[in-house]
Amino acid sequence: MSLSLKQVDRIARLAHIELSPTEAEATQAKLNGIFGLIEAMQAVDTTGVTPMSHPQDLIQRLRADTVTETNRREAYQAVAPEAEKGLYLVPKVIE
Amino acid sequence: MSIQTLKSLAEALAQKKTSSRELVTDYLAKIDAQNPRINAFITVDRDGALAAADAADAAIAAGSAGPLAGLPIAHKDLFCTEGVLTTCGSKILANFVSPYDANVVSQLKAAGCVSLGKTNMDEFAMGSTNESSAWGPVKNPWNLDRVPGGSSGGSAAAVAAGMVPAATGTDTGGSIRQPAGLCGVTGIKPTYGVVSRYGMIAYASSLDQGGPIAHTAEDCALLLNHMAGFDKRDSTSLERATEDYTRDLNQPLAGLKIGLPKEYFGEGLANDVRAAIEQALAELRKLGAVTVEVSLPNTHLAIPAYYVIAPAEASSNLSRFDGVRYGHRASEYKDLAEMYAKSRSEGFGAEVKRRILVGTYVLSHGYYDAYYIKAQQLRRLIAQDFQQALTQCDVIAGPVAPTAAWGIGQMADDPVQMYLADIYTIAVNLAGLPGLSTPAGFSGDKMPVGLQLIGNYFGEARLLNIAHQLQQTTDWHLRQPA
């Protein structure tokens, strides 16, 4: 398979990544190289093979529904690009 | 000057022949002298290191010191370190001073280790050469025109150049073993789930695993004792009794059965690397090991499966970098969507963008089953190969990489060619097995070669034992770059 420029643009939009037309073209070529490599997977019949997401096939641990974290809002917001009165500031979304 | 191990430095500290302040001052001077040539460190935490050294000296004097008290180490810049810049090799985190410590960092601190700083790495650990770092490539101390491997290339190069006796690394597809091999040092990637991922900036969460890089297997065991352990803050951390990874170091190797996968010795393996590996295997036979041929028939599928699974998980993990809570925010934007896109486009490098795009595509509607599920099915076949082979042997051995270190820039424009160089390491991550790299001599052009040892789940102590025994009768790990 190979990706068209239009598909590259669509994926970039989904991923919130801006590509200039020149970058998109260079990216298209590289992505198609990578998908050429990945394509080898399709030659293998995997019918009936259970997908493996964790080597020990671990079941997610549950914990009690209680507060375990201490409030460190100031420390965490100290590294934010813009924060004020305990809030993260972003451009206005709703008029 | 000969290499300094954590073990020998700990003895010198215990015998009061030196102090932690003296050691740290000495290593900081080595970093000052070497780092401009090698670029192994992104951040040197001079004040923090000296303060921690003084605290360690006081604890030693008071008899309340931790087991690794006063020993200098460095952390890969992917581990969050409270109050210290943590960039993950990326411009998007160029200003990120972490508000908390990774579990590995806090455990090693509690054991008394003194961190000298943060080592350079491929951006978000995506690379095998250290060329994708936003802070410039790391140079291989054995030849400054060559790559050190990656992604923990800064850690491996720093240890090889004597700038620090040991360092932490992480391994998603070979990122501890391959740079350790290419720089002539020892490194181990533990079984998935043994070392907590809490505070390790995520690349591919089902594959990422932290581990130590040092000159010797014994030092790796000492560090791993304080890196491993159950941590409830990591949802895939394994609840197991704690282990002493040094316990089997001195076991003899008589009767050890080593499996040699025929797929790891076939086409593509450079002749000089093959010769070095054969020589190391001959040493292991002298120590009483026997070798048998085994097969890992799905080896050729490991790279395709990895380049679906890892980018898929990365595209999800890296969605958190949006310029809102931390990291880079673009200076000009007209709305929220543009702020996200500009911040990410300015902050991420080309390889990271590529992997995010691949991951976004394979997870997108209509492709999930054909790519992500398919890759996870192949992952199981690959894991089953290892289980089948390990019924015929105790451990598996082979090269870490098909060639010794190549030239900086040589593969920089050809990602697929670079991906293929990870053929012998990636399957181990997919299976979640432990893997170790130990020095095994030199290539035709005098670059280090690494021997890879792969064990069954929780076989770390056995791998460290084999490497330690090999290191008792060979001196490859003691050699130093000019």
Three-state helix/strand/coil letters over chain A: CCCCHHHHHHHHHHCCCCCCHHHHHHHHHHHHHHHHHHHHHHHCCCCCCCCCCCCCCCCCCCCCCCCCCCCCHHHHHCCCCCEECCEECCCCCCC
Q: Report the SS3 class of residue B96.
A: coil
Residue B324: which of A36, A37, A90 has the nearest Cβ? A90
Q: How far is CA A18 from CA A8, A23, B108, B327, B342, in A?
A: 11, 9, 40, 18, 7
B100 in a structural domain: yes
Q: CB contact, 8 Å: A85 with chain B?
A: no
Helix (H) or strand (E) holding B61: helix B46-62
Q: Is A24 on the interface with B (CB under 8 A)?
A: no
- The alpha carbon of residue B77 is apart from the nearest alpha carbon of chain A, in Å, by 17
Instruction: Give residue-wise pLDDT tens across range B287-332.
Output: 999 999 999 999 999 999 999 999 999 999 999 999 999 999 999 9
Residue A72 clears pLDDT 70, i.e. is over it: yes
Q: How far is B27 from chain A (nearest CA, A)?
A: 30
Please tell me the predicted confidence (pLDDT) of residue B1.
Answer: 65
Domain positions in chain A are 5-42
User: Least CB-CB distance to A18: which of B345, B354, B457?
Assistant: B345
Amino acid at B142: W
In a domain, residue B101? The reply is yes
pLDDT at B249: 98
The reply to whether B315 falls in a domain is no
Is the Cβ–Cβ distance between B276 and B181 less than 8 Å? no
Q: Which residues in A lie closer than 8 A to residue B356 (C-beta atoms)?
A: 15, 17
Among chain A residues, the shortest Cα distance to B431 is held by A55
Q: What pLDDT is stored for residue B366 in this prediction?
A: 87
In three-state secondary structure terms, B450 is: strand
Q: Do A14 and B364 touch (CB under 8 A)?
A: yes
Q: What is the CATH number for B20?
A: 3.90.1300.10
- Percent over 70 (pLDDT), chain B: 100
Using one digit for the tens of pLDDT, what is the confidence trace for B199-228? 999 999 999 999 999 999 999 999 999 999
- Chain B residue with CA closest to A57: the answer is B236
Q: Do A15 and B356 touch (CB under 8 A)?
A: yes
Contacts of B95 in chain A (CB under 8 A): 79
CA distance to partner chain B, nearest, from residue A76 (Å): 6
Cβ-defined contact of B357 to A27 (cutoff 8 Å): yes
Cis peptide preceding B443, ω within 30 of 0: no
User: Model confidence over A4-34: pLDDT tens digits?
Assistant: 999 999 999 999 999 999 999 999 999 999 9
Tell me if chain B has a CB within 8 Å of the CB of A78. yes
Best interface-test mutation with B: which of A37, A52, A61 has the largest number of B CBs within 10 A? A52
The closest CB to that of B374, out of A3, A41, A81, belongs to A41
How close A51 comes to chain B (CA, Å)? 4
Residue B350 included in any domain: no
Residue contact A11–B360, C-beta within 8 A: yes
- DSSP assignment of B227-287 equals TBS--TTSTT--------TTTTTT---TT-EEEEEGGGSSTT--HHHHHHHHHHHHHHHHT
Asked if A27 and B353 come within 8 Å (Cβ–Cβ), the reply is yes
| Integer Cα distance of B391 and B13 in angstroms | 45
Nearest by CB to B96, from A42, A79, A91: name it.
Answer: A79
Question: How many structural domains is chain B composed of?
Answer: 1
Q: What does the alpha-carbon distance between residue A78 and residue A83 come to, in Å, rounded to a whole number?
A: 8
- Name the pLDDT band for A95 (thresholds 50, 70, 90): confident
Q: B209-214 and B166-171: which strand pairing? A: antiparallel
Alpha carbon B426 to its chain centroid, in Å, reads 13
Residues of B in contact with A66 (CB under 8 A): none
What domain range includes position B204? 6-255+459-478
State how far residue A24 is from chain B, nearest Cα, in angstroms: 11
Which residues 47-76 on chain A approach chain B with CB closer than 8 angstroms?
49-56, 58, 60-61, 63, 72, 75-76
Q: Mean pLDDT over residues A70-76, rounded?
A: 94
Nearest-CA residue of chain A relative to B356?
A15
Beta-carbon pairs below 8 A across chains A and B: 165
Q: Which of B183, B207, B177 is nearest to B302 (CA)?
A: B207
- Angle, to 10 degrees, between the axis of helix B20-38 and the axis of helix B153-160? 110
Chain-wide mean pLDDT for chain A? Answer: 92
Residue B143 and residue B16 in contact, taking contact as beta carbons nearer than 8 Å: no
Q: Are B128 and B421 in contact (CB under 8 A)?
A: yes
Partner-chain residue, chosen from B99, B420, B432, that has the shortest CB–CB distance to A79: B99
> Does the pLDDT value for residue A61 go beyond 90?
no
Q: How far is B30 from chain A (nearest CA, A)?
A: 32
| pLDDT for res B482 | 86
Report the pLDDT value the prediction gives residue A57, as an integer from 0 to 100: 74
CA distances A4 to A30, A42, B226, B447, Å, are: 12, 20, 50, 42
Active-site residue list of B: 76, 151, 175
Q: Considering the entire predicted model, what is its pTM?
A: 0.97
In-domain check, residue B169: yes
CA distance A38 to chain B (A): 4
Say whether A34 and B358 touch across the interface (CB within 8 A).
Answer: yes
Asked whether the predicted pLDDT for residue A1 surpasses 70, the reply is no
Chain A positions touching B209 (Cβ under 8 A) are none
Stretches in chain B below the pLDDT threshold 50? none
Does the residue B51 lie in any domain? yes
Q: Are B109 and B448 in contact (CB under 8 A)?
A: no
10 Å CB burial of residue B61 (0-12, 13-18, 19+) is: exposed
Q: Which residue in B342, B360, B380 is closest to A49 by CB distance?
A: B380
- Give the β-pairing of B72-76 and B114-119: parallel
Q: Closest Cα to residue B350, out of A62, A30, A65?
A: A30
Q: Does A17 touch chain B (CB under 8 A)?
A: yes
Q: What is the ipTM of this complex?
A: 0.95
pLDDT of B384: 97
Please name the residue that has the structure tokens 């620090």. Answer: B164
Fold of A5-42: Histone, subunit A (1.10.20)
Q: Closest residue of B to A61, CA-based?
A: B235
Residues of B in contact with A34 (CB under 8 A): 307, 354, 358, 415-416, 419
**Cβ contact, residue pair B235, A76, below 8 Å:** no
CB-CB contact of B188 with B463 (8 Å): yes
